A and B are shown apart, each in its own frame.
Chain A
Amino acid sequence: MPVFLKLVFRNRLAGAGAIIIAALVLTCLLVPVLPLADPDQTDTAHRFIRPFSEGRLLGTDHLGRDLLSRLLWGTRLSLAVGAVAALLAATFGTLIGVTAGYFGGRVDAVLMRGVDMLMAFPYILLALAIVAALGPGLLNALIAVAAVNVPFFARNIRGISAGLAAREFIDAARLAGEGHLRIILTELLPNVLPTIIVAVSTTIGWMVLETAGLSFLGLGSQPPQADLGSMLGEARPALITAPHTLVVPGLAIFVIVMSINLLGDGLRDALDPRLRSGALARPSPVTLIERAEVPAARAAPGFLDLDALDTRFRVGRRLYKAVNGVSLSIARGECLGLIGESGSGKSVTALSIMGLVASPPGVITGGAVRLEGEDVLALPYAALRSLRGRRVAYVFQDPLSTLHPLYRVGDQLTEAMRVHDRITDQEARARAIELLDTVQIPNPAERLSAYPHELSGGMRQRVGIAMALANDPDLIIADEPTTALDVTVQAQILALLDQLRRDRGLSILFITHDFGVVGQLCDRVAVMYAGRIVEEGPTAAVLAAPAHPYTRRLIDCVPELGGGKRALTAIPGLPPAVDSLPEGCAFAARCDRARDVCRTGTLDLAQTGGRAVRCLFPETTATEDRA
């Protein structure tokens, strides 16, 4: 509990809310012993005295009654009524919710049907109907407000109870032959209680508001007894002549409700793990770039060069080095494979190129991405945006989640052209059909009006590729484009990409975890482990004679090159957490060739001709001629 309170108070507004409420409750408890005037003592000679007059701190109302006294007594009554209504609603709601959730089946169906019916009313109608039947009065208003809120509690608590009722400890209790009532009271209720407490504390404000509303309408507390609502109601006729009689109780309700809302929001935030982990952060249009220095351009720039690229994830105070000094180069018309396990940083590398890493939490902290020698990361947003899709296009892994679910494929395709090109509807449509034809989708004209969920996985990925081709880019970055597909479709998509590359002179950066795929498509391959390149070289040479132990393991994972089921289970152990990279070789913990020296110092990527390896005791001396 103290941890929990700490969380609440860390949210300053919630803390303020808690303090105001505590102060209010305390004052209300003390009201009977405070030296206050009689709240119901009328004094018609002194009506509508303004606030801050002598002896009348808040002035008097239309009957000359002391407003301060009435305010405090009224607040006391309103808070009490609100709290009782919340407790009543919670009690009955819990009763219904727990019963429905615990027993399930028909009991659940019947009870929840009833709850649904109640929720089909605009809530106040129900409250008014109840007050109409029982007659106006504070007690009846309280009953009405409580009754109207029962369904909200019932539904909420049913959900949790149903979840709990399916858990083992409840089953265990049932098997042990305990009675239903006993199980509910001793096993279920204690687990539901925290939710109930939070729900009650956050709805008291609502209840105060509702009962005040009914009193305001004259349906709640009856004179001379006053709660805040009826004070407002009585002030209404004198609205223009004596506005203070209105403002005093109005502000009081506002302060009560607001402080309860503040506290409620604070509680909710404190309990929401997603908020703390930053999982609800909004990714900005471009990855945050905070480069201390930019490495010098290469003497002989390739088509796309990555120079010592550093991309990190900032989560709270921790820093994860997702991409750690990665340098790569792709020539025109070349296909480079970037391979590694999930979490190796290969996808982050790919997304960094066009500033598409989600930030927060991503930050590019160093290095450069150069497209024909020009530093992409230094470009203003507009210039970077015009490169995206036009010169460098992406194909992502799972086209079901990467295509917009609510837009027709045709519209998504033509949009890709329109953001870079001013073209007419007909032109766009014609080009879209042509593109779908290029990626071998049958009946392309008809498919334009399909939604992604209406296509098969393979067709969707073809659409993804067509979209990437829409502006005739120079480079396609394909991030595991075939992983979500079955093997035959995978082969077709690979063949398609290969053909497009040859036809159009495309460069491709192909991200994968599968050496079999690399073997079919890529000229060169770079292997990534824990954010670093550990081996690089021509595909054939690397496949024939892997130098890094990790590369060899990856190749061993492929049962039979180019076919069969591939599972990445053969490498024992897990990659290290990238926030705490060990000294020396990051692979040491899983390496069967590791010796003590591997765990000290830093390892460089040793170049020999066209190959490079980051290992002290490579499997073979890396040479190209074994290819």
Chain B
Amino acid sequence: MARYILFRLVSAIPVILGITVIVFLIMSLIPGDPAQAILGAYATPENVARINRDLGLDKPMVERYFIWLGNMLTGDFGRSFSLNRPVLDEILERFSATLVLASVSLLVCSLIGVAAGVVSAARQYGWADKTITFAVLIGISIPSFFLGMLMILLFAVKLRWLPVSGMFEIYGGRGPGDLLRHLVLPSVALAVVATGVVARLSRGAMLEVLRQDYIRTARAKGVGEGRVLWGHALRAAMVAILPILGLQAGFVLSGAVYIEVVFQWPGVGRMLVDAILKRDILLVQGAVTFVAGCYVLFNIVVDVAQAMIDPRIKA
């Protein structure tokens, strides 16, 4: 297993390099003088001179790329002009907030989605299946930012059960209980679409597995139906479901941008939107590279988990 993990890590290097190239290419689409674009309102002559020197903006593209890459490798993602602090510090702080939100959502959508998929498959064409299928259709059709606002209206404004927005109370908050209360609405709003997708695909994976000969073998042994479904069948279906969960991580990270804006969650998504509106190019560039890199690493975790549940995958 250790060899497999190492192998996957090594094979991630070209992907991460590819990501930096793509981000770099996209950023070079910026029309006009890059120094001007990056500095925007802060484009004093000395700032322009400094940034040209630091980032090699006056050098040819290839050289510029390697300067940027080299800087990042030493942990230097540049400085945010709108926030006047190192980009990396800001990203790390914001990303941890996003991580909390996204992982809770991913957990919610995995548990509920898979369970709904199993039940749906087990009761194929029964009322439970039809209800779930219909709920899934609604779930994957409703824009998460709209749903989020509706939830605020109902649960925070009308019923006053939960806070309207933010990650902590401004005064006296900060405890884990406080965090949890603030997490409920955004994480659920964020999880809805992914739950729908996971439920739908899990149902398909289960139906595929339930027709297999080894399920008949289990039944022929006298294994009870509960164990057949949640043990034999789900175990085999997980091989197909795990990659779906990996993909959902990307969708949850994406949806987090909207949810963070709606719920004023101090995450990296909201930071990105602000940065774009303020034309804080270095912050955008750094955050996109950083988060995409993390996503690649997360997918390695999924692959390793895959190899752990499926003994047929060997390093």
Contact = CB atoms under 8 A, between A and B. Distances in A.
B222 A406 contact: no
A212 interface: yes
A254 interface: yes
A390 B143 contact: no
Interface stretch (A232-240, A597-605, A609-617): A232-240
A219 B150 CA distance: 22
Given A122-B254, A131-B276, A250-B149, A415 B223 contact: yes
A265 B134 CA distance: 12
A124 B212 CA distance: 38
A301 to B, nearest CB: 23
Given A219-B273, A405-B214, A285 B219 contact: yes
Interface stretch (B17-25, B52-60, B71-79, B174-182): B17-25
Given A120-B18, A130-B29, A250-B150, A356 B273 contact: no
Interface in B149-166: 149-150, 152-153, 157
A122 B250 contact: yes
Given A217-B261, A396-B217, A405-B236, A129 B23 contact: yes
A117 B22 contact: yes
Contacts of A394: 217, 220
Interface stretch (A41-49, A162-170, A276-284, A486-494): A276-284
B276 to A, nearest CB: 5
B258 interface: yes
Contacts of A239: 149, 152-153, 157
Contact of A451 (B21, B145, B150, B311): B311
A393 B220 contact: yes
B22 to A, nearest CB: 6
Interface in B267-312: 272-273, 275-277, 279, 281, 284-285, 288, 291-292, 295-296, 299, 309-312
Contact of B122 (A113, A282, A416): A282
A354 B217 CA distance: 12
B4 to A, nearest CB: 16
Given A117-B19, A406-B309, A389 B141 contact: no
Interface in B229-277: 232, 235-236, 239, 249-251, 253-255, 257-258, 261-262, 272-273, 275-277
B143 A116 contact: no
B157 A406 contact: no
Contacts of A262: 137
B24 to A, nearest CB: 10
A454 B311 CA distance: 10
A125 B214 contact: no
A500 B225 CA distance: 30
A381 B284 CA distance: 61
Contacts of A4: none
B124 interface: yes
A128 B250 contact: no
B207 interface: yes
Contacts of B310: 406
B277 A136 contact: yes
Contact of A398 (B137, B145, B213, B281): B213
Contact of B224 (A279, A398, A419): A419
Interface in B194-236: 204, 206-208, 210-225, 227-228, 232, 235-236
Given A117-B15, A236-B262, A216 B145 contact: yes
A403 B217 contact: yes
Nearest to A467: B221
A261 B211 CA distance: 28
A205 B141 CA distance: 8
Contacts of A283: 210-211, 215-216
A356 B250 contact: no
Contacts of A116: 15, 18
5 contacts: A217-B261, A219-B276, A388-B219, A396-B216, A451-B311
